[in-house]
Structure 1
Amino acid sequence: MASSPLEDLDIFQLIHDSESECCTDNSESGVEESESEIDFDEDPSSSSATWGPPHQHGRRHVNNYSGGAVGLNTNEAPHVNKDSTPFCIFMLYFAGIIHLLVEETNRYYHQHVDRRQDGPSPRPDVTESEMFLFLGIIIQMGHDIRGRLKDYWSTLEQFATPFYSKTMKRDRFLHILRFLHFADNNTETDRNANSYDRLWKIRTIFDTLNDAHEKYYNPYEHLAIDKIIVKYKWRVVFRQYIPKKHKCFRIKIFKICDAAGYTYDMKVYLGKDRTCADQDVTETHATVRGLCRRIEGLGHKQYMDNFFSSPDLFDELMTKNITCCGTVRPNWKGLPDDFRRRQFQLKKGDIRVRVRQNLTALVWKDKRDVYILTNMHSPPAEGSFCDEHGNAMKPAIVANYNKHMGYLDKADRMANSYSICR
């Protein structure tokens, strides 16, 4: 059987912006660069002047959690119960997406197919049943990694797996793969417009899936925000090149996950964009604000690392009944002056604490200085805390942070079988 030029193509290559150029900026990301735009605040009358010792200012904010019972939202899925199959859950999230895939794939075929290259007569339209089978094969491929697509349909003894040929013929699979589409190409807007969406080809499906994440699931009280890096070798303008990283070419995705590893919301980083920020709000601040929009007023506890944490962000989220804890960069605007100037001469096990209303900033010396910002914990005691062996004793705030920041690692492990191409 003759091989197809599509056999070694990644699916995501078929939907990427073919006219876009690879990002050649050697910086880690425009988002991180935006953080450096916040100047060091030398004004003694700034908010950093209001920080003081914990015995003078500290008090803990107690938020009331009202997010509902964790797990499936039975109000939105009353027909799902303990006897339901995994396919029933799958249909909650993907029924509308399957319909859209079929519609746009058939549209693209009829708009652009060259009949002379595709055979003597038109192929039949893809049906929803076929699209389910197609996606089933894609999912199985994630558990059965092979070098080439044609190997899945090989009759050679070392490759033969009847599942693939019984589910769908290879030529039909490659036909669907060739014309798989997620949007009408005629709806593309001007690339030079400020409002141009670099993710427009999959925007509808991406937003539909995010909406389903919220609609059908109530997350745990504790959530974590972080960025994940997805290996990606094809050409899109928002791909980033990091020569010092193992995954040199990559796409950055911001995610919010709960203790079960459930992705509650996500956002693809599409390049530096100041439309969502202003002089007082960085892009990372605006990113967290957007990811938290679905949990406002519910009393969730949010954890993040120093890529996101800032006093202004924590203060804003508290007004929306969201308390936060995270590592923080000591030179951030709004932090205590002695933190930002790194004036402490700490020994191993030492803790220094400053508070401002509900906000607590602490630095703890272990192998290096660890800076934490929180408004969900009571201020710890200052002093030097080591065990009988001279090892630094970890503050409860640091232990709590470490416990809850692993949520995205769990989500990554569960998704690790599938590259972005699949």
Structure 2
Amino acid sequence: MTKQSPEREERRRQQQELADHLKASGAMDDIFAKIDAGEPLTGEGGLIGTMLKAALERGLEAELTEHVGYERGDAEASLHQNSRNGTSSKTVATEIGDLELAIPRDRNGTFTPMLVPKGQRRLDGLDGMIISLYAGGMTIRDIQHHLASTLGTDLSHETISKITEQVAEEILAWQTRPLEALYPVIFLDAIIVEVRDGGHVRNKAAHIAVGVDVDGAKHVLGIWVQATEGAKFWAAVCAELANRGVRDVLIVCCDGLTGFPEAVEATWPKATVQTCVVHLIRAAMRFVNYKDRKAVAALKPIYQAANEDAALEALEAFEASELGRRYPSAVKSFHDAWDRFTPFLAFPPELRRVIYTTNSIESLNYQLRKVTKNRGHFPNDQAVVKLLWLAICNIEDKRARDRAKERGLRSDQRKASGRLVEGQVTTNWKQALEQLSLVYPERINRYL
């Protein structure tokens, strides 16, 4: 049997004590009798909904008692300046369905309930549920149908949309938050989404930047939907990062983005823009027949070469081989990317392993694609950023909860996934940082 964490064991103990106390007191006898008689727990007329209705109405009555200064039925009620004035009906949407509440009123009209405020038609827990469903990739209409079919709660398309818009300020704060002065490595990759643009729907690239700080921890720096092609867009992205505090970047790893190297070099003149080697290998293998793919592993001596001269010699050898003549596109891929590929060859093995690929961000994008794949298209760029941000938060929170459940277990008993990206420490970072301090001593040592 799997051992539970101390926190979970304590929580279960407290819950069991409360349940035992309620059973012993007889307070649950009538409820147990109704369950035994076959009455439903959830849905319309369910016991849980009835109990929540009773609890809320009792709390509202207590609030009114404090407001008017006397208990219901008090013989001296007429001596008070204000008095009770019946109730009004109000429908409130909750996680267990709609509840019809009797909201108490006062004669002077000055009572403002706190438990269910005026104008509020949903309990807070329902908002959290809707945002969580949205972050999981469900469309607004999917959520509308889900709430109606499972909870019997019928919320309009506009209401659900407004609920998801509640996070807009949080997203803006996150997207404009101050950043570190130095990120030794920044990875940049994109996922393709469909966005309505005027009267048409077209593919757009949602670019996600992940920075590695001097402690080796990864952070999502921002999300940008490419509105224009090339240098102008990338100049704006780099300027935004600089305005948020990024003073220097040592290495930027990306996949041959038009105009991006020039924008980086204009913002951080000493930065090295490195083509992702894995993307380059994929491009070289794009037109290779499946039966030849294993043989085309002859490309390995190129990207594992000791230096640029050795890599060029390996490329020329492959070009002259039978496979090279059969697949000239594979050779062309390396020739086209050569200037942005060769900086990688100047680094020692420990550092090469860190910048070899954007896989750390690709694993993030893989999870995000699972969220976006069921979407038809987004109404605008802001909706793309909203969903991707919520999805990242949702995935990280879920993984954190899973790890918390396994806290206290032996390592061989833990099955929860580690951090997706945010706060994840780069493998072998200490060795890579040592090499960076040797390669860029005047730029990195002052931040250590």
TM above 0.5, yes or no, is: no
Structure with the greater alpha carbon radius of gyration:
2
TM-score, normalised to structure 2's length?
0.35
- The structure showing larger relative contact order (alpha-carbon pairs under 8 Å, at least 6 residues apart) is 1
TM-score, normalised to structure 1's length?
0.37
More helix by percentage: 2
